A = this chain, B = another copy of it.
Amino acid sequence: MISSLASARIFDLEQPRYSGAPSHPAHSPGYNYFLHRHHARGASEARTSASGLVVMPEHSGTHIDALSHQAENLTLHGGVHVDGVQTSVGFRELGIDTMPPLVGRGVLLDVARDKRLAPEHSITSEELERTGVDVREGDVVLVRTGFGALWGEPAQYLTAAGVSAAGSRWLMDKKVKAVGADNMAWDVIGPADPELHVTLPGHLLLLVRAGIPIIENLNLEELAQAGVTEFTFICLPLKMRGATGSPVRPIALVAET
Contact = CB atoms under 8 A, between A and B. Distances in A.
Interface of A: 1-6, 8, 10, 12, 14-19, 26-42, 45-59, 61, 68-74, 76, 82-84, 86-91, 97, 100-101, 103-105, 192, 196-201, 203-204, 208, 230-232, 234, 236-245, 247-251, 253, 255
B39 A29 contact: no
A182 to B, nearest CB: 16
- Kindly report how many copies of this chain are found in the complex they form together: 4
A122 to B, nearest CB: 17
A103 B32 contact: no
A241 B16 contact: yes
B249 A74 contact: no
Contacts of A74: 39, 41, 48
Given A33-B241, A105-B2, A47 B88 contact: no
Given A47-B199, A49-B203, A238-B247, 4 more contacts: A33-B58, A34-B52, A51-B244, A101-B249
A239 B26 contact: no
A198 to B, nearest CB: 4
B42 A243 contact: no
Q: Per DSSP, are chain A's interface residues mostly helix, strand or loop, or mixed?
A: mixed
A9 to B, nearest CB: 10
A26 to B, nearest CB: 7
15 contacts: A1-B4, A5-B232, A6-B232, A38-B86, A42-B84, A45-B192, A47-B71, A47-B201, A47-B204, A50-B68, A53-B55, A101-B251, A234-B236, A238-B247, A238-B248
